[in-house]
Amino acid sequence: MCGLGAWLPPTVVTNDDLARRLDTSDEWIRTRTGIRARHVASPGMPTSHLAAEAGARALESAGVHDVDMVVLATTTPDRPCPATAPVVATRLGLTGRPAFDVSAVCTGFLYALATGAGMITSGAVETVLVVGSEVYSTILDPADRSSSVIFGDGAGAVVLRAGHRSEDGAVGRSELGSDGSLADLITVRAGGSEQRSSGAPALPADRYFSMWGKEVFAHAVTRMAEATRAALAGAGWHAADLDRLIGHQANVRILHALGEYLDIPRERLVIHLDQIGNTAAASIPLALAYAQSTGELAPGARVALTAFGGGATWGATTLTWPALKTV
Amino acid sequence: MTDVTPPTFEQLAAIVEDKLGLPPRRIQPDTVLSEVDIDSLSLIEVSLALEKQYGVHLETEDVDTAITARDLHDLVLSASTARP
């Protein structure tokens, strides 16, 4: 990993702003999620826009203008078809490069990172731009207080290059998993071939995102803990060796429970969601950029990344933090 | 079937008190869980602590059926002996 960039749309929506239009309160949202505010994309600002902004910053951080491939993780592509990554590549002046989307919801960035790193390891490419970008505000039911308070829009990106496994920034073995029997836990039910082939029109509520919060909480903690343990074992590290655990920023109580489950003290957890909410596939690169900017991530720090998301999907990997240029 | 050593009621109550920020011995067998300011995620946090500390796995839908602290302890006891 040799470059890192992030971008958040300028509009901020606070808990108090939401409480003016929904039956909720700042206190209710903070105690249940840890979230204080989130950024929201302006009208006419699709996922590709955020992705290109973050991608340009990651390229600048890496000191390059070109990469061999672009991988975009998103739940909210610009269109159901085609993929959004080619649009992002062209916006970045990378027309002609291979570019494709990876769909693993909140685990999407870790799947995309593993894909990019694997393509480098195979020798097919030498550099990859990996982006996580989301505009969840386009799939949330504005009247649903349970999901509206949680999610935010944003994008983060990293540049990967070929290097030696012993270098700082080398992405460790990725531990990825899925369980399709949990597809209903986190879903947008309508709009795909399942609903369209049914012959029945989509119910209005099915056009929007829905989540079973309690079940997700329990699965998220246990799956992220298992994946993190496996990734740590792959790196030859123990939990006590970790300087920072960067878990998917869904809910601060999930992150605290994950820390307890793994015996990792709270001060070693990166917490960024209080400022931006859950940004799904963008949350890990955004948390990396945040922790780099605050100095929480210093060169040489031992870091584990882990996520759980719709699918269900989960994953974890490790790296020793490299010296990166902050953009 | 693998038996695990389940927590006593007092040990379970201590976990619930810790997760809910309640004073010691606030949780008694007849304590109605919904009356001690428990929110929908608190019992999941209790379940995860039980899983880590005692190896007892409770299903989320079963936890939701517990009315009193005794009900929750009964669930823990039955999960401890019915573990695959």
Contacts of A94 (CB under 8 A, 6+ apart): A66, A67, A70, A129
Neighbouring C-beta atoms of residue B25, cutoff 10 Å: 10
Report residue A173 as tokens.
């073995």
Q: Is the pLDDT of residue B2 over 90?
A: no
Tell me how close the Cα of A17 comes to any Cα of chain B, in angstroms.
23
CB contact (8 A) between residue B49 and residue A215: no
Task: Give how far Cα A155 sits from Cα of A61, A130, B80, Å.
Answer: 15, 11, 44
CB contact (8 A) between residue B41 and residue A217: yes
Is A237 an 8 Å CB contact of chain B? no
User: Alpha-carbon distance A67 to A64, whole Å?
Assistant: 8
How many C-alpha atoms does A187 have within 13 Å on its Cβ side? 17
Interface A:B, Cβ pairs < 8 A: 32
Report residue A29 as tokens.
């949202």
Residues of B in contact with A146 (CB under 8 A): none
What digits encode the pLDDT tens for the residues B12-60? 999 999 988 899 999 999 999 988 867 878 989 999 999 999 999 998 8
A70 forms beta bridges with A99, A129
CB contact (8 A) between residue B51 and residue A222: yes
Averaged pLDDT for residues A214-232: 96
What digits encode the pLDDT tens for the residues A154-168? 999 999 999 999 999
Q: Is the pLDDT of residue B4 over 80?
A: no
CB contact (8 A) between residue A217 and residue B44: yes
Task: Give catalytic status of residue A248 as yes or no.
Answer: yes
Going by C-alpha positions, the residue among A43, A47, A113, A128 that lies closest to residue A80 is A47
Taking only residues 20 to 39 of chain B, the set having a beta carbon closer than 8 angstroms to any beta carbon of chain A reads 39
Q: Indicate the pLDDT class of residue B64, thresholds 50, 70 and 90.
A: confident
Averaged pLDDT for residues A173-201: 96
pLDDT at A275: 97
Residues of A in contact with B51 (CB under 8 A): 222
pLDDT at A277: 97
Report residue A225 as tokens.
């803990």
Tell me how close the Cα of A252 comes to any Cα of chain B, in angstroms.
12
CB contact (8 A) between residue A257 and residue B45: yes
Residues of B in contact with A222 (CB under 8 A): 48, 51
Of these residues, A2, A15, A39, A106, which one is catalytic? A106
Tell me how close the Cα of A174 comes to any Cα of chain B, in angstroms.
24
How many C-alpha atoms does A154 have within 13 Å on its Cβ side? 34
Residues of B in contact with A217 (CB under 8 A): 41, 44
Q: Indicate the pLDDT class of residue B1, thresholds 50, 70 and 90.
A: very low
Q: Is the pLDDT of residue A193 over 50?
A: yes
Residue type (1 letter), A80: P
Indicate whether this complex's ipTM tops 0.90. no
pLDDT at B39: 80
Residues of A in contact with B49 (CB under 8 A): 260
Averaged pLDDT for residues A179-198: 96
User: Alpha-carbon distance A99 to A14, whole Å?
Assistant: 35
Residue type (1 letter), A163: G
Q: Is the pLDDT of residue B83 over 80?
A: no
Report residue A158 as tokens.
């990293």
